[in-house]
Amino acid sequence: MQSSKKYELRSPSRYHGVLNAPHRAFLRSIGLNDIDIYKPLVAVATAWSEAGPCNYHTLMLANVAKEGARQVGLTPLVYPTMVVNDNIGMGSEGMRYSLVSRDLIADMVEAQFNAHAFDALIGIGGCDKTTPGMLMAMARLNVPSIYVYGGSAEPGFYKGMKLTIEDVHEAIGAYLSKKISEDELLQVEMRAHPTVGTCAGMFTANTMASIGEALGMSLLGSASPTATSSRRIMYVRETGKAISQLIELGIKARDIMTYEAFENAITLLMATGGSTNAVLHLLAIAREAGVKLTLDDFDRISKRVPLIASLRPGGDYVMADLDAVGGVPLVLKKLLEGGLLNGDVLTVHGKTMKEALEEYKLPNVPHDNIVRDVKHPFKPTGGIRILKGSLAPQGAVIKVAATNITRFEGQAIVYDSEDDAFKGIENNEVKEGMVVVIRYEGPKGGPGMPEMLRVTAAIMGAGLNNVALVTDGRFSGATRGPMVGHVAPEAAVGGPIAVVENGDKILIDVENGRLELEVSQEVIEKRLKDWKPKEPRYKWGLLAKYASLVSQASEGAVTKPI
């Protein structure tokens, strides 16, 4: 399959012809000769940072991608983007910059790409926001593009147990509630994340990388090899080569990122029990691609797609285990065989999803413990559900893959920040049966919807098994338990979550898709009438700028011109 139009290169208008001599002079300054200058110019946009393991090695991978691109007659040039390392920002002011960084990455890729008249784009990412940031840029620029992931870390081992970073967060809860000693906590800390690469479970980074394949924007099989795998190098080199075919066939990002491709991405998300953050990111990427995707699409697909993978945090296995049995293509093939995946959509292979999957060779190994057929799933419906109701008129998100509780009714205990909630748990204010409400942590209120992993891990670590959480902030992909996030509208813009009071009853009803504040409508309206907005946390600088531009979670929390 191929696009009907030939792709018109952008670089000739900037670098060819007599009048472009000054521009060419600068390419000569970096060692390019005539042959290099007149080849298609490929941007290798690389989210790179030494400040954490997730993107520590991506600059090395960028050089591998360049090598591949050069082998097929292209001129590749690397430019970096920023990275916020989620785990290091977690539970601090740093986390407010995380979602902000997604849109900044998209902006940085766009600015450098257009300013230098590149022809095609390879994006390399790792940590949570880097994959969606890259995909947003690809959708926005609409040029031949391929995304390749930096790979996840190998899991750690302690006392015969497989560890991920999630275990360190939960060990803190266990330490605070005196279930483990400081030395035990140190042992977990020392072993949990033993190599470079992203968090090992099917948390947000691995979820988004897997979605890259399901969307058709990454080479099949490229998401699951660990950062340390030699197959990672191979996939990155192949990505460098594959971009040449897209240029030749005239296949641009939006030819691939169609509504049907997003349906496939959501299908994979539901089947694997991936991170709730993917809801936000897919809405944002779709918006950049000009595709009308809504929360209702997620709920519709969740009801028809079973959970067929057992991956942490909801299941037992990590990305490296999935890789050993066939990676994302194994899941995609199961979904295609079950009639749940659209095989006619285009991919970066220059072929349809069905054709590309048919050509992909799976290892012949038993895999029923990790990935099952759609007829014998781990759960009959998808990993994420959308809830609506008097507490979230525009929607909220719950990850059902990570909990067996589908109905929860309890009294609210309300905190106006993540910090206050953490202290509340430390002070034993939170009791079994309660619904912890954390508000003013939404896209504008946070700003940046910080993730509540510190709080959710503290709840789990303290052995509070019968506590739910409702927030206008986000959850980490590593979160477990009955946790509802992305409540929209958020408290900062006067959503009903702003007027919940201690002791109010809240109902979480997954089966019927409801999130209700069980107070009469008249009382809610009266409270909303009396509600006064809070002073913003930031009045200057990036976070203040972001808060003024960002939309609600139900729209993907994208920044848009006023």
The residues binding ligand FES (CB under 6 A) are 54, 85-87, 127-128, 198-199, 203, 205
Residue 476 appears among annotated catalytic residues: yes
End-to-end alpha carbon distance in the chain: 40
Angle between helices 204-215 and 130-141 (to 10 degrees): 30
Residue with Cβ nearer ligand FES (306 or 315): 315
CB-nearer residue toward ligand FES: 150 or 377? 150
Closest distance of CB 59 from ligand FES, Å: 16
Looking at 290-427, list the stretches that DSSP marks H as alpha helix, in order from N- to C-terminal side.
295-304, 319-325, 327-337, 353-359, 418-426
Q: How far is the CB of 37 from ligand FES (least distance, A)?
A: 37
Q: Which is nearer to ligand FES, 136 or 205 (CB)?
A: 205
Closest contact distance (angstroms) between CB of 281 and ligand FES is: 13
| CA distances from residue 147 to 124, 164, 209, 424 in whole angstroms, order as listed | 6, 25, 9, 42
The candidate with the shortest Cα–Cα distance to 218, out of 228, 232, 204, is 232
Peptide linkage before 53 cis (omega within 30 of 0): no
- Least distance (Å) between residue 49 CB and ligand FES: 10
In Å, the largest CA–CA distance within the chain is 75
State how far the Cα of 61 lies from the Cα of 130, in Å rounded to an integer.
15
H or E segment to which residue 480 belongs: none
Q: How far is the CB of 417 from ligand FES (least distance, A)?
A: 22
Sequence-distant (≥ 6) Cβ neighbours of residue 51 within 8 angstroms: 83, 85, 88
Contact 504, 518 (CB under 8 A): yes
Please name which of 252, 247, 262 lies closest in space to residue 212, comparing C-alpha atoms. Answer: 262
What would the two tokens of residue 259 be? 């509504």
> In whole angstroms, how close is the CB of 294 to ligand FES at the nearest point?
27
Spatial CB neighbours of 337, under 8 Å, sequence gap ≥ 6: 373, 374
Q: Closest CB to ligand FES among 203 and 378?
A: 203
Tell me the DSSP string of 16-56: SSGGGHHHHHHHHHTT--HHHHTSPEEEEEEE--SSSSTTT
Residue 9 CB contacts under 8 Å (≥ 6 apart), including other chains: 40, 119, 247
Q: Give the Cα separation of 416 and 150 in Å (integer).
A: 37
Active-site residue, from 101, 218, 310, 476: 476
If one counts every other C-beta atom within 10 angstroms of the C-beta of residue 221, the result is 22
CB of 57 to ligand FES, least distance (A): 13
Contact between 524 and 497 (Cβ < 8 Å): no
Least separation in angstroms between CB 227 and ligand FES: 11
> What φ, ψ does residue 267 adopt, rounded to 5°?
-60, -45
With beta carbons less than 8 A apart as the criterion, state whether 163 and 157 touch. yes
Using a CB cutoff of 8 Å and minimum separation of 24, what contacts does 180-187 make?
187/158
Shortest reach from residue 110's CB to ligand FES, in Å: 23
Sort residue 85 into left (φ over 0), alpha (ψ -120 to 50) or beta: beta
- Tokens for 483, please give them: 């946790």
Q: Tell me whether residue 128 or residue 263 sits nearer to ligand FES (CB atom).
A: 128
CB of 47 to ligand FES, least distance (A): 11
Is the Cβ of residue 86 or residue 472 nearer to ligand FES in the bound state? 86
* Phi-psi category of residue 19: left, alpha or beta, with phi > 0 → left and psi -120 to 50 → alpha: alpha
The answer to whether 320 and 206 are in contact (CB under 8 A) is no
> Catalytic positions, please?
476
